[in-house]
Structure 1
Amino acid sequence: MNETLKGKWSYRSFRHDAIVVKDGHVEGKPELAKPWSPPGVLEVDTNEAGEISGKLKFTEEVVLDIKGHLIPATDKEPASVELTGEFHSSANKLKGFFIPGSDHIVGTILNIADDLGKQPVGTVGPFVLFPI
């Protein structure tokens, strides 16, 4: 596996407005992409087994503990990463793919507890990582 998450990465996540469907149609004009987190810096290490650990820093006071693992590429999917980010009672799950021919990782974040951005549990949205 050539992909690694070792190093320093720029992080940004986005979310969408709640979607209301009535009679098979989306109601209103929900915003599809709103900044969710402020820009952050992910600094992580990856060991030989593909286990990841590190920190995602948004401010001096808000630094999430990051743990996870790499998933090797298959003939059907590019290599990916699964992470958990925790800060006090807040927790998020992330899954992202290494984009072939690029140095970016793009994926989805799911809030599973006490979102720091005050979004409801179950809020999902895209995230992007790129090396600093």
Structure 2
Amino acid sequence: MNCLLCGQTIKGELTFSSLFLLKYDCSYLCLACASSFEKIGEKYCPSCMKIGLSTQCQDCKLWCKEGVRVDHKAIFTYNQAMKDFFSRYKFDGDFLLRKVFASVLAEELKKYRGYQFVSIPLSPRKIA
């Protein structure tokens, strides 16, 4: 299998459990590409997930003063690797990239079973 971002060959690891359970646990990224995505650590703004803070950031305090509730959830920082990923996925239409974060998102979404999710298009043209 090849890395979906850089094309480098990825060697899969075959284990007894993968054979026994018929469940192959594969990665869609090489180690170099996977390590370019930064998970948000323990210190972040509880409203917008901005890293490096343990209390609400100044931007969120300002929004709160204006009567706007900010309650964003993020797993990864929006660094250059994530910007490039979204550019390829959303604007270039690289549909295979949907697999990259599928298992991470599935695990995270378990916390929100009772919620209803709404897609928000980039522009009115994208609605149809």
The TM-score, its normalising length taken from structure 1, stands at: 0.21
Larger helix percent: 2
The two structures have a TM-score, normalised by structure 2, of 0.21
Larger proportion of strand: 1
* Larger Rg belongs to: 2
